[in-house]
Structure formats: structure tokens, C-alpha cells
A = this chain, B = another copy of it.
Amino acid sequence: MRILLIEDDKKLCELLQFQLKKENHYVDICHDGRDGLDIFLQNGHDLVILDRMLPTMNGLYVLKKARSAGLDTPVIMLTAIGELYDRIEGLDCGADDYITKPFEFEELSARIRSLGRRSKKYEDDSILQYGDITYDSALRILNGPKCGLQLSVREGLLLEVFMRSDGKVMRRMVIFSHVWGVDAPVEESNLDTYIHFLRKRLCYVGSRLNLKTVRGTGYILEDI
């Protein structure tokens, strides 16, 4: 399942991302309410886990905005003990479920599965397809019109981001955190390098896809 996790506690965020990934979910994270809403509005996820207390814009507001924009993505809200009385308000705003911090991962996981069953969209396939390429994420093999190619781990993770991006602009930070992890001890400029590598790979396999720069924001994988 493609999950968007909007939570400002970076430690918790990392932990959740790690565990959710172990359950074969694809996880985007975001530590900030306004950015979170932006990503939410791209409608690229099957589930949003949303903290109520966030910098720049609180979770309830994010949810309200998203719902009024017509999005019906399931949302699980996280709330600290003491904010419990907001439960009804949250549910009224369109949250599908509520979890009170601190919580067991098991519980979250169960609720995710429960919501996942409702959603038909979700399937887990190791072979991704977009435009004129396919990518086998298990073997890390990229196939284009001209030939196939074995990708390295980082290249593969990077391509996976775009294969799942559904033609949306991906922000640099989102991409980076997918490939290297949130605040990995690595120069962010490596992303430039790997974008370069990936462009060469796409070219090599004869794809018409174009990894276009959106200056100041990130990149988008364009079909023609």
C-alpha cells in the first residue's frame, strides 16, 4: 500500500517508516503540515497517517482541506493522550480512524490492514510499468524498448519512486528520503548524481520517458 506519513516527530517517523516498509508498504514521509497537504493533494497515496499536532498547519486543517478538495483517501489520525476529546471532531472532519499516542505498532498495522481491505486499489506487484518501460523491483531489472539493464540498489530505489509517482512531480526531499532514508548522513547532492545516472539508464534502454527537472521543487517522469 502507498502510505503518506505526516508526523513531525522524526524519530517516530523513521521507526514507523521502517516497520511499514517491512510490511511491504511504500512510505512517503513529511514532517510539516503545509508540505504534507501539498503532497496529500497530489492524491498519490492509498492511505494517509496524519498527526494532529504539526508545525505550520495542524492535522485537522490538513484533513479538512483535503476532504473539501474532494479527496477520499482513507486517513488515520494520530493524537496524543489528552487530545482525546478531539476524536469526534476528527472523525467529523473525515478521518477514518483514530489512534492515541503512545500506541503499539501492532494496532496501527491492524488498522492499516483493515482499511487496506476496504480499498480495492491496493495490490502488491513487484513488476512496475510506466510508459514504455517496465521495472522488476525484485530483480532490479529495467526493461525498455531497446534492451534490459540491471540497476544498482540506489538506482533501483530512485526509479521506483518515479514508477510509483503516477506522473506527478516528486519533490527532492521526498525522493531523497526514499532512496537514502530520512536525514541519512549523506550529501544531498548525490541525488543530482543519481538523477544523472538514471537518465543515462533510461536513454540506454531506449525509453522515450523524460526525467524532467522542476526547478526549485524536484523532478517529474514525463511520457513524451
Interface set of A (CB-CB < 8 Å, partner B): 23, 33-34, 38, 56-57, 61, 104-106, 109-110, 138-140, 152-153, 168-169, 214-217, 220
Residues of B within 8 A of A106 (CB): 33-34, 56-57
Q: How far is the CA of A61 from the CA of B220 in the complex (A)?
A: 42
Smallest Cβ distance from A140 to chain B, in angstroms? Answer: 7
Quickly give the copy total for this chain: 2
Residues of B within 8 A of A168 (CB): 138
Residues of B within 8 A of A109 (CB): 34, 56-57
Smallest Cβ distance from A68 to chain B, in angstroms? Answer: 10
Inter-chain contact B34/A220, CB cutoff 8 Å: no
> Which residue, A34, A109, A214, has most C-beta atoms of chain B within 10 A?
A34
Residues of B within 8 A of A105 (CB): 56
Per CB-CB distance, the 9 closest pairs between chain A and chain B, nearest first, are: A153-B216, A56-B106, A138-B169, A57-B106, A139-B214, A34-B109, A139-B169, A34-B106, A56-B105
A-B contact pairs, 10 of them (CB 8 A): A33-B106, A56-B104, A57-B106, A57-B109, A61-B110, A138-B169, A139-B169, A139-B220, A152-B215, A153-B215
Smallest Cβ distance from A105 to chain B, in angstroms? Answer: 7
Tell whether A216 pairs with B23 under 8 Å between CB atoms, given A34-B106, A57-B110, A169-B139. Answer: no
Smallest Cβ distance from A98 to chain B, in angstroms? Answer: 20
Q: How far is the CA of A217 from the CA of B156 in the complex (A)?
A: 12
Closest to A32 in B: B106
Closest to A154 in B: B216
Q: How far is the CA of A206 from the CA of B215 in the complex (A)?
A: 24
Residues of B within 8 A of A140 (CB): 214, 217
